[in-house]
Amino acid sequence: MDEPVTKVRLLDMIRTARAEWDGLLSQVDETRMTQPGVAGEWSVKDVIAHITWHEREMIGMLRARTGRIESVGLAAGRTQPGHL
């Protein structure tokens, strides 16, 4: 059976995934960013907008469940351990 993921491990996983995402995006030039066809008719920019919307929705859900956002520490781009 898998062991539960701790808050510290979860945040580390989120930071790692975000760094990978940022690395991938840095390889996409401005022209390609708006070309349709990346996912159906969606462009890279459309995919980014969709993911951004989803992240904001998740933050809202976490706020509603916990009554506070500081437990996540990512809403304002705070990714350093001292900001969590």
Residues 34-46 pLDDT 10s:
999 989 999 999 9
The dihedrals phi and psi of 42, each to the nearest 5 degrees, come to -75, 145
| CA 24 to mean position of chain CA atoms | 13
19 domain residue, yes or no:
yes
82 domain residue, yes or no:
no
34 domain residue, yes or no:
yes
Question: Average per-residue pLDDT in the chain?
Answer: 80
Q: State the residue range of the domain holding 65.
A: 7-77
**Number of domains the chain contains:** 1
Low-confidence ranges of the chain (pLDDT < 70): 1, 68-84
pLDDT for the residue 7: 84
Q: Is the pTM of this model over 0.75?
A: no
3-class DSSP assignment, residue 39: strand
40 domain residue, yes or no:
yes
69 domain residue, yes or no:
yes
Percent of the chain whose pLDDT exceeds 90: 45
